[in-house]
Amino acid sequence: MKVLPIKSFEAKPWILLKHYAKRMPSISYAFGLYENNELVGVCTYGMPASPSLCMGVCGIGHKHKVLELNRLCIETTTKNSASILVGRSLQMLPKPKIIVSYADTAQDHVGYVYQATNFLFTGTTKERTDMASDDGKHSRHNKGDSQNRSFRSAKHRYIFITGSKKEKLNLTKELNYEIFPYPKGDTKNYDAGKSVPIQKLLF
């Protein structure tokens, strides 16, 4: 299996057809997992929607280093394919970076792929409601209707730090979240159930 950088438009059909959120996130970096030269999975990273998250993880001085692993889609039965994609893509990101990702409890996700790739587990966010835009989705820029609320489920928060041994150590010391033992439980795949057109690796 190969992991290679891809363009965001190559990841788009996977995100819209395979991922349960069915919407495009902010994408700064995208990677594809290839099996027999066929694209069988994608992983994307982008700026988190919340500025307070960027400032809160390791402090305002490191906010520019924060990225969110915001989409992960796999369509192969090969064992450990998701962790191979995540693990190798992390190595290909610019360094140093602070990667945040979430496992949505409402989707029965525990985050085992993050546990397998040595992310730190920093707790579970609380359920809450946010102002929603006209389409009922979360309003990121306070343009929603205060009377129109959307539910935000509890999510397991994972963090991974890339860089040299010294950079990792220093950023871990700056981490503003407590580190907890990994959660356990039953889990489901990140899959909305629709097939993606075959994309071959061109040499």
More confident residue, 145 or 199: 199
| CATH top class, domain 2-174 | alpha beta
More confident residue, 47 or 191: 47
**For residue 98, how many C-alpha atoms fall within 13 Å in the half-sphere facing its CB?**
26
Q: How confident is the model at residue 143 (pLDDT cuts 50, 70, 90)?
A: low
Q: What is the pLDDT of residues 34-84, one digit of tens each?
A: 999 999 999 999 999 889 999 999 999 999 999 999 999 999 989 999 999
Boundaries of every domain in the chain:
2-174
pLDDT above 80 for 19: yes
pTM: predicted TM-score of the whole model, two decimal places: 0.83
> Per residue in 158-192, is it b (16+ CB within 10 Å) or e — as a string?
bbbbbbeeeeeeebeeebeeeeeeeeeeeeeebee
